[in-house]
Amino acid sequence: MRRILTGILATWAAVAEAHAADVDQTGVSPRAAQTTRSSAFLSEMRLGATAQDPGGPESGSANLTAEVLSLRPLTAVDPVLNLLIPRVHLGGSLNLNGQTSFAYVGLTWTFDVTSNVFVEGSFGGAVHNGKTDPAVLHRSALGCTALFRESGTLGVRLTQDWSVMATVEHLSNAGLCSNNRGLTNVGVRVGYTF
């Protein structure tokens, strides 16, 4: 997982460096007509709380969550093309009852429904400290330590900088290890855009 994260960050740094080489003495990129770009790497931080696997073996416990998102490596002028350009996310979920906690990395695609309402989908990988096999009472058997993670979000921008979101996330090994029901968490988050 560390190699994957290092590779993603190195790729983003290379993209930013390549862009810097394209900027002329006036500070304007020759590609400015097609794309826009910011100089910062991180664009947003999110904090929240989730219910751990409602209806599952670990239900009844809660998690504190944190996530940071990068800027898009470039932003197309065409909003439809922007849907294809993801942001990198890195986050974690700490279970407050000593059950399964995890860290994750992946890609997030954001679609603005209106100027204030947005939906997101994300896909990536996670590593956890939970049980793999066999299942212990009140613990989920997740099959292996490295899992796939996907999530869906409905959000509302309260101001230019602040937003609130309802999120559902699912972790599973997709049948690559022993069969498992996965882990599904639901919750709310507050986001701050830099």
Give the domains, in start order, of the chain with CATH numbers: 43-193 (2.40.160.20)
Question: What is the reported pLDDT for 60?
Answer: 93
Question: What is the reported pLDDT for 17?
Answer: 52
CA nearest neighbour of 123 among 110, 142, 108: 108
User: Which single residue is written with the structure tokens 């986001």?
Assistant: 191
Task: For the chain, list the strands marked E by DSSP.
Answer: 35-36, 42-51, 62-70, 75-76, 87-95, 102-112, 117-128, 146-157, 162-172, 183-193
Question: What is the reported pLDDT for 39?
Answer: 52
Question: What is the reported pLDDT for 40?
Answer: 73
The C-alpha atoms of residue 185 and residue 146 are separated, in whole angstroms, by 17
CA nearest neighbour of 108 among 77, 128, 82: 82
Question: What is the reported pLDDT for 153?
Answer: 99
Question: What is the reported pLDDT for 138?
Answer: 77
Tokens of 29: 């990129």
Question: What is the reported pLDDT for 46?
Answer: 99
User: Which single residue is written with the structure tokens 């960050």?
Assistant: 9
Task: For the chain, 194 residues long, give each residue's pLDDT as a single digit of tens.
Answer: 445 444 444 444 444 454 444 444 444 444 333 444 455 789 999 999 999 999 998 999 999 999 999 999 888 888 788 889 999 999 999 999 999 999 999 999 999 999 999 999 999 999 999 988 876 777 888 989 999 999 999 999 999 999 999 999 999 999 898 778 899 999 999 999 99
Question: What is the reported pLDDT for 122?
Answer: 98
